[in-house]
């Protein structure tokens, strides 16, 4: 490894010394590669990317579900010095086209069956990720000699751009550097006491920061074996749990495990750690899980722009339901009022953070970057919360009106802009309501302008334009919206009105 290189691949490989014969990745119960095999696997994919025109600083977009090929593609992109741009595999072709326009990738890697825009609409080179003998990326990689090593990178060089919809409705790409990601995984390694003795059960989507930068990175940083599933399935997770020491999930995973009678205390008994994040974990789920298994779930707080920010303590007795714990090593967190003065203990305010994990800003959005960062380097999370007397953080709300459904971020403005286009719609409001499985469900309400309105047309538009997790589960037609004196729609009133929809 070059002494000057901050490339994550160099950092990972250096930590695999002495573990060459150990399984690195297990897929569907079979070992795909050892830590000794990993550099050659990455090198072949890197050679394939180079043959397809990928160079240092280029963007490579990927739209597919979990697979070993996804892992190798991601690591090869980093080794190339290129920038990885994952997309939710459920995105529609229209959503993909918008991101291609913004990121201007040199290559789109996608599942053969997934929705992508026509080449005429989005003229970018494409390659599929299934190794089926038809020229897919794995087929090409298998024919090539591996390119050794990794492109030397600085800590401030970009590793990935993760798009998260802005409150203006236009997606924003959080620019994450090699230094952001390496500092964060090192902090998690320390806080959660990982070691090469661990085996991680990975059922999270790799296109999400939780699955990519937490679960996968911790396995590679720790020289821990990763047992990866195509997706979360309670039956499959229960079968795999006796083979691992750590499981990471979103609250929905835990509710579904508790719903399965096969998830018993014996199944969970010898596991070292259960971690939850990406959405708030209800205290009722925390308590039910402890009663069933004897384990207290470790909840943490993160966001796309900073990966992980806080964590409850490693010691089980220190984990308090409803809280997200303390800032990670190297992270500063403060709770402020409207004048940016820190509020007293226990008082709710806006949460700001600063640290080596915080992104460099938003891709080609200088105005959004300027709005999100203060001159002193603190980043406005858009979340509200408070600290207790020990400095433990509790999240109380989201000032940016974010909905988190099944662990995925949904920004109302993005949906409102599209629904407002439907004939007959005068005004529209999108909001979240409690849901026992997803945490929150997306709901919409509209008022009409007196013209012709067709609910079927609106439902068809929703189905064609939005991934399923963004689609409103119901659309309510109202005579008028509750508004304040300035005419602003009172979404809190709407949430209150429809709060019991799924109880």
Read off the pLDDT of each residue in 365-377 and give the average, rounded to a whole number.
95
Q: What percent of the chain has pLDDT over 70?
A: 96
Please tell me the distance from the alpha carbon of residue 169 to that of residue 162, in angstroms, as a whole number.
16
What mean pLDDT, rounded, does the chain reach? 93
CB 204 within 8 A of CB 249: yes
Q: Which of 173, 79, 62 is nearest to 126 (CA)?
A: 62
Confidence category of residue 135, pLDDT binned at 50, 70, 90: confident
Q: How far is CA 110 from the centre of its chain?
A: 18
pLDDT of res. 2: 46
Confidence category of residue 342, pLDDT binned at 50, 70, 90: very high
Q: Which of 475, 472, 423, 471 is nearest to 451 (CA)?
A: 423
Q: What are phi and psi of 157, to 5 degrees?
A: -75, 145
Residue with tokens 């190794």: 131
Who wins on pLDDT, 3 or 162?
A: 162
Indicate whether 168 pLDDT > 80. no
pLDDT of res. 485: 57
417 three-class SS: helix
CB 171 within 8 A of CB 367: no
363 three-class SS: coil
Please tell me the distance from the alpha carbon of residue 75 to that of residue 58, in angstroms, as a whole number.
14
Confidence category of residue 411, pLDDT binned at 50, 70, 90: confident
Q: For 240-258, b where at least 16 C-beta lie within 10 A, e where not — what string?
A: bbeebbbbbbbbbbbbbbb
Read off the pLDDT of each residue in 9-36 and give the average, rounded to a whole number.
97
Indicate whether 166 pLDDT > 50. no
In the CATH scheme, what is the code of domain 403-497? 3.30.300.30
Mind listing the pLDDT tens digit for each residue in 440-497? 999 999 999 888 899 999 999 999 999 999 999 999 999 999 987 556 788 889 999 9
Indicate whether 259 pLDDT > 70. yes
Please tell me the distance from the alpha carbon of residue 295 to that of residue 286, in angstroms, as a whole number.
9
Indicate whether 194 pLDDT > 80. yes
Contacts of 179 (CB under 8 A, 6+ apart): 6, 154, 155, 156, 356
Indicate whether 277 pLDDT > 70. yes
pTM, two decimals, is 0.87
Spans of all domains in the chain: 403-497
Q: Which of 150, 199, 133 is nearest to 45 (CA)?
A: 150
Mind listing the pLDDT tens digit for each residue in 311-324? 999 999 999 999 99
Please tell me the distance from the alpha carbon of residue 146 to that of residue 149, in angstroms, as a whole number.
9
């Amino acid at each position: 490894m070059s002494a000057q290189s901050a490339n994550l691949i160099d950092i990972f490989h250096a930590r695999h010394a002495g573990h060459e014969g150990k399984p690195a990745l297990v897929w569907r119960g079979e070992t795909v590669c050892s830590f000794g095999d990993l550099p050659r696997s990455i090198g072949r994919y890197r050679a394939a990317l180079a043959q397809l025109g990928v160079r240092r600083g280029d963007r490579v977009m990927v739209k597919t579900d979990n697979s070993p090929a996804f892992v190798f593609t991601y690591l090869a992109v980093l080794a190339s010095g290129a920038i990885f741009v994952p997309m939710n595999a459920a995105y529609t072709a229209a959503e993909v086209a918008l991101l291609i326009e913004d990121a201007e990738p040199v290559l789109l890697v996608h599942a053969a069956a997934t929705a992508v825009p026509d080449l005429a609409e989005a003229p970018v080179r494409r390659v599929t990720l299934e190794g089926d003998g038809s020229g897919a990326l794995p087929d090409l990689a298998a024919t090539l000699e591996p390119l050794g090593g990794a492109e030397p990178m600085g800590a401030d060089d970009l590793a990935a751009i993760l798009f998260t919809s802005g409150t203006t409705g236009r997606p924003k790409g959080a620019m994450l550097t090699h230094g952001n990601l390496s500092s964060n995984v090192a902090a998690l390694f320390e806080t959660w006491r990982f070691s090469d003795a661990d085996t991680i059960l990975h059922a999270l989507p790799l296109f999400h920061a939780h699955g990519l930068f937490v679960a996968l990175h911790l396995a590679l940083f720790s020289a821990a074996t990763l047992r990866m599933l195509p997706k979360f399935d309670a039956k499959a997770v229960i079968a795999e749990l006796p083979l691992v020491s750590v499981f990471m999930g979103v609250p929905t995973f835990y509710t579904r495990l508790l719903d399965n009678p096969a998830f018993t205390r014996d199944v969970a008994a010898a596991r070292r750690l259960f971690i939850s994040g990406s959405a708030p974990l209800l205290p009722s789920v925390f308590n039910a899980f402890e009663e069933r298994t004897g384990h207290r779930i470790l909840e943490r707080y993160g966001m796309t722009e900073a990966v992980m920010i806080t964590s409850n303590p490693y010691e089980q007795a220190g984990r308090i339901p409803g809280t997200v714990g303390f800032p990670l090593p190297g992270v500063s967190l403060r709770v402020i009022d409207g004048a940016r003065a820190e509020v007293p203990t226990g008082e709710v305010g806006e949460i700001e953070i600063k640290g080596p994990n915080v992104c460099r800003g938003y891709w080609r959005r200088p105005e959004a970057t300027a709005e999100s960062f203060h001159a002193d380097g603190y980043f406005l999370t858009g979340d509200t919360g408070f600290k207790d007397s020990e400095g433990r953080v509790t999240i109380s709300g989201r000032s940016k009106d974010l909905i988190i459904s099944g662990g995925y971020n949904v920004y109302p403005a993005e949906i409102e802009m599209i629904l407002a286009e439907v004939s007959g719609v005068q005004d529209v409001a999108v909001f979240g309501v409690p849901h026992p499985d997803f945490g929150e469900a997306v709901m919409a309400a509209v008022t009409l302008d007196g013209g012709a309105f067709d609910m079927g047309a609106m439902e068809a538009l929703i189905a064609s334009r939005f991934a399923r997790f963004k689609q409103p589960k119901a659309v309510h037609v109202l005579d008028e919206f509750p508004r304040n004196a300035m005419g602003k729609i009172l979404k809190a009133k709407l949430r209150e009105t429809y709060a019991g929809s799924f109880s």
